[in-house]
Structure 1
Amino acid sequence: MKKMITVLFLALGLSTFAQERGEGRKDLSSEEMATLSAKRLAMQLDLNEDQEMKLKALYMTKMDAREEGREENAEKRAEMMEKRDAMKEKREEMREKRKADSEEMKADLQKILTADQFQKWEQLQEKRRKGRRSGNGTIRN
């Protein structure tokens, strides 16, 4: 039991530490991030100043391209949401039209059929609806 509690606290501490570590980077500009990354790699690989400057330029180029990609993605996402909303509206209009057509058909049939025939027709329609809902894939006429 003590080991489980220790593991739980350790996991909680690590997750908190990982979250705090990532938050500090959000405050840095792209240039500062590129400089830090270049300096870190320069220290690890023992690079000269020329290599470090080229590495910083490379990081800046990649960060700018990534930022442009984010902006494009945001625009595309907004465009897709607009299209999705338009499709929802169109679907709803189509559903309402089908419902109105169905009600009109029902009223016309009621004028043509006798009361018993109409009642039988309604029962057949209900049976059909239940058959579709059951998911067996067969629709009987």
Structure 2
Amino acid sequence: MENWDENTAGVLRLPSGRLVRGRGLRYPLAPGAPTPSYALYLLGRQPPAVSWEFHWIRWPDFRLPADRPAARAALSEAWERAAGERVEVACGGGRGRTGTALAALAVLDGVPADEAVGYVRAHYDRRAVETPWQRRYVRRFSGTAGAET
């Protein structure tokens, strides 16, 4: 499977070189825009069907994942798959929940947890990770497999 073009809107390059696209689902893809091979959708309710494989995490707007161990497992899978697939992470607007998840992926990729929000804000969206509890979630997120968040 082909990976993202680094110049595609919303694509974040992690320090390892993995590319992940963050997106707001409120904004439809442009005709002919590349589609993911795998997506992680962070929404309060089940997302609509798409033609690619996806995983849904129940994650209400401005909040944290309802099931944190399941979210950690899904984020770990997305990080693993990003090594060779086009992985997309998306919520409604593409900033709060998406930014939080991208920051967690950065931690999994080796960015220190206390620097991950800054990394995502510098390389993805300066307004990513919107709430104090989302920032705290990232600070407490561990790059160690099986660790609690």
Of structures 1 and 2, the one with the larger relative CO (CA 8 A, separation 6+) is 2
TM-score, normalised via structure 2 length: 0.23
Structure with bigger gyration radius: 1
TM-score, normalised via structure 1 length: 0.24
Question: Which of the pair is proportionally richer in strand?
Answer: 2
